Amino acid sequence: MDMLRLGTTGMMVSRLCLGCMTYGDPKWRSWVLPEAESEPFFRQAVEAGINFFDTADVYSIGVSEEITGRMLKKFTKRSETVLATKVYNPMGSGPNRRGLSRKHIMAAIDASLKRLGTDYIDLYQIHRYDPNTPVEETLEALNDVVRAGKALYIGASSMYAWQFMDALHRQKANGWARFVAMQNHYNLVYREEEREMLPLCRANGIGVIPWSPLARGFLAGNRLKQGWGDTERAKTDDIAQRMYYQPGDFTIAERVAELAQKRGARAASVALAWLLARPGVTAPIIGASKPGHFDDALAALKISLSADEMAFLEEPYKPHPVLGHS
């Protein structure tokens, strides 16, 4: 497994990051795997050389963090693991149990540390931008989290490029801990990040760790124009239905499948290989709920697409409205 520095930091991360939203409590989402069924995937990830694991407090309302912490203790050493989690989304009905206020961040970091069973988090990320909290309040609280040793680095997730640039400027002006990574929405059927966010990240040495690299499974080639698809997630994932499933999206998925057939590869591998080849991308966050999902992801690392093949996949793209900021 190749390793890259995360942005301009000295921390090395695997070229693939295992997203742990899939592991938790099926009561939260019907396609989520409980702990016993999750265990083989953590073992596979470690055996494949993956050292980068991403979760969030809101995934299964804390259960994903609990399972992730236990599985990493079982299969790897803490010093060899890059552990990422996120804060922002509601963790209860109270008004102070959500958002990016100082009050919520300070409570959330301690709760995440307890659930993960660790003394520190390698990468602590804001899950979204909070328009209801002064940005300097958020940034100062994150700086204090780092200075307290509860997180080594901080990162951000989907927002507008001007919001991210504003935050980076305020961090620099105040001598606060700086965002080192952007976890944004980016894949073959959603490329709006290429307009501003990705150039911003490249210019500022920010690591890019895209979420939904296969468009919530849409690019795996098993989604249908009628009836969504045959898997449990395809049948129940109304978020994917709102974000994708446009005629142009299916055209791109069909081209992915066509190129995959020519190469004797899986569609998911080709779609992921395209993303891995994009300038500035550090480590896409992959999901795995079936053993073959790891095989597809690892195969992508060995696929080098030609300029003509890249153009073939990209040509049908049509602009999309902004998706994934809320």
- Domain spans of the chain, in order of start: 3-217+268-304
Which pairs with CB-CB distance under 8 Å and at least 24 residues apart come from 33-37?
A: 33/289, 35/67, 35/70, 35/71
Quick one: which H or E segment has residue 157?
strand 151-157
22 within 8 A of 289, measured Cβ to Cβ: yes
Closest of 179, 173, 187 to residue 206, by C-alpha: 179
- CATH 3.20.20.100 holds for 3-217+268-304: yes
Which residues participate in catalysis according to the annotation?
Answer: 59
Close Cβ partners of 263 (under 8 Å, ≥ 6 residues apart): 270, 303
Closest of 27, 105, 18 to residue 68, by C-alpha: 18
66 within 8 A of 58, measured Cβ to Cβ: no
Query: How far is residue 211 from each of residues 18, 33, 208, 225, 282, measured CA to CA in Å?
Result: 10, 19, 10, 23, 12
pLDDT at residue 225, rounded to an integer: 58
pLDDT at residue 22, rounded to an integer: 96
One digit per residue, pLDDT tens: the chain, 326 residues? Answer: 999 999 999 999 999 999 999 999 999 999 999 999 999 999 999 999 999 999 999 999 999 999 999 999 999 999 999 999 999 999 999 999 999 999 999 999 999 999 999 999 999 999 999 999 999 999 999 999 999 999 999 999 999 999 999 999 999 999 999 999 999 999 999 999 999 999 999 999 999 999 999 998 889 877 555 555 556 555 555 665 566 767 789 999 999 999 999 999 999 999 999 999 999 999 999 999 998 999 999 999 999 999 999 999 999 999 999 998 98
pLDDT at residue 210, rounded to an integer: 98
pLDDT at residue 242, rounded to an integer: 67
pLDDT at residue 230, rounded to an integer: 59
282 within 8 A of 208, measured Cβ to Cβ: yes
Quick one: which H or E segment has residue 5?
strand 3-5
Give the span between the Cα atoms of 271 and 266, in whole angstroms: 9
